[in-house]
Amino acid sequence: RKEVEQDPGPFNVPEGATVAFNCTYSNSASQSFFWYRQDCRKEPKLLMSVYSSGNEDGRFTAQLNRASQYISLLIRDSKLSDSATYLCVVTPSPGGGADGLTFGKGTHLIIQP
């Protein structure tokens, strides 16, 4: 089983819709969780950290479910500019470490007009 698994998609979603996708992780000792966004042919950029209590940033909401070992990302009122690949990142311990910074393969999201 891969350490971090994501549905690669693509998710084709009409503009204005709400879309959500999950990322499962295998290491129950994982401590830190992030969502990164990567545009085509660009570098990944941090979208948001995922806290135990969940967190929201504008139209984006991230949740952590430790019991089932997954994190989720919800995008409300989707915009064309939300089209990108969303990468799930998990680290096994506080502070992480290069060998602990595990990227998922990414979920490809396409917002259609």
Partner 1 sequence: EADIYQTPRYLVIGTGKKITLECSQTMGHDKMYWYQQDPGMELHLIHYSYGVNSTEKGDLSSESTVSRIRTEHFPLTLESARPSHTSQYLCASSVTGTSEAFFGQGTRLTVV
**How crowded is the C-beta side of 3, counted as CA atoms within 13 Å?**
15
- Asked if 105 interacts with partner 1 (CB under 8 A), we say yes
Residue 66 binds to partner 1 (criterion: CB under 8 A): no
The least distance separating partner 1 from the CB of residue 95, rounded to whole angstroms, comes to 4
Residue 97 tokens, joined = 């470490």
One character per residue 77-96, x = contact with partner 1 (rule: CB under 8 A):
----------x-x-x--xxx
In the complex, least distance from residue 50 CB atom to partner 1, rounded to whole angstroms? 11
How wide is the angle at C-alpha 101 spanned by C-alphas 65 and 82, nearest 5°? Answer: 65
Q: Is 1 in the site for partner 1 (CB under 8 A)?
A: no
The one-letter amino acid at 63: Q
Report whether the peptide linkage leading into residue 10 is cis, meaning its omega lies within 30 degrees of zero: yes
Judged by CB under 8 A, which of 32, 55, 69, 72 binds partner 1? 32
Written as one string, the DSSP assignment of 67-90 is: TTTEEEEEE-S--GGG-EEEEEEE
Is 106 among the residues that bind partner 1 (CB under 8 A)? yes
Is 42 a binding residue for partner 1 by CB under 8 A? The answer is yes
Give the Cα separation of 48 and 45 in Å (integer).
Answer: 9
Residues of the shown chain interacting with partner 1 in the complex, contacts defined by CB under 8 A: 32, 34, 41-46, 49, 87, 89, 91, 94-101, 103-106
